[in-house]
A and B are shown apart, each in its own frame.
Chain A
Amino acid sequence: MADTSLFVAEFTRNSQRVYSYILALVANIDDAEEVYQETSAIAWQKFDAFEPGTNFGAWICRIAYFRAMKLHEKRAGDPLTFDADLLEVIAQTHEMETDLMVVRRKALKICVDTLPEKYRDLLRQRYTGTTVQDIARVSCQTTNAVYKTLYRLHRQLHECISKRLTMGDGP
Chain B
Amino acid sequence: MSDHVELLELIHAMLEGQLDADAATALKRRLRTDAQARATYIQAVDMKAALRWQFAEDRAPMLTAATDLMIDDCEAEPYAIRLRGRSRTTTSFGWSIAAAMVGLVVGFVTSSLVLGVMMSGNQIRVQPLLTEGFEDVKLPLAKRFPEVHDVWNGTQGLILPSDTAAEGHHVIRFGPTNTRRLSYLNRIVDVSGLEKAGTDEQRELRLTVTVRTSQHVSSPRRYRLRLAAFEEDPAAIKDLWFSGGGLEEKALSFASRAYDVDEPGWSTLDMTLPLPPEARNVVLSISAGSVDSNEPTIAYEADDVKLELITLQPGQSDSVDSPTKMKKKRRAERSENQFDHGGGLSSLTWNSLTLRQQCLLIK
Contact = CB atoms under 8 A, between A and B. Distances in A.
Nearest to A162: B43
Nearest to A86: B32
B12 A82 contact: no
B123 interface: no
A29 B82 CA distance: 15
The dominant DSSP class at the A interface is helix
A27 B5 CA distance: 18
Interface residues of B, number: 82
A69 B54 contact: no
A41 interface: yes
B42 interface: yes
Contacts of A29: 15-17, 48, 52
Interface stretch (B90-98, B152-160, B231-239, B246-254): B90-98
A64 B88 CA distance: 18
A54 B255 CA distance: 43
Contacts of B18: 147
Interface string B4-43: 0100110011111111011011001001100100110111
Contacts of A8: 63, 66, 101, 104
Given A11-B101, A80-B19, A109-B54, A45 B128 contact: yes
Contact of B45 (A20, A44, A109, A123): A20
Interface string A1-44: 11010011001100110011001100111111110110011101
Dominant SS among interface residues on chain B: helix
Interface string B77-96: 00000100111111111101
Interface in A35-71: 36-37, 40-42, 44-46, 66, 69-70
Interface in A132-151: 132, 147, 150-151
Contacts of B12: 150-151, 154-155
A164 to B, nearest CB: 13
Interface residues of A, number: 69
A60 B49 CA distance: 17
A4 B13 CA distance: 39
A27 B113 contact: no
Best-surrounded residue of A32, A37, A84, A147 (most CB of chain B within 10 A):
A37
Interface stretch (B161-169, B220-228, B309-317): B161-169
A46 B132 CA distance: 10
B270 to A, nearest CB: 14
Contacts of A101: 42, 46
A8 B87 CA distance: 28
Contacts of B167: 42, 66, 70
Given A12-B62, A23-B45, A45-B113, A82 B28 contact: yes
B102 to A, nearest CB: 9
B51 interface: yes
Contacts of A82: 28
Given A16-B53, A20-B50, A93-B39, A66 B165 contact: yes
A33 B93 contact: yes
Contacts of A124: 55, 58
B140 interface: no
A23 B266 CA distance: 21
A114 interface: no
B304 to A, nearest CB: 9
Given A86-B31, A127-B51, A151-B12, A104 B46 contact: yes
Contact of A104 (B47, B93, B94, B100): B47
Contact of B90 (A74, A80, A131): A131
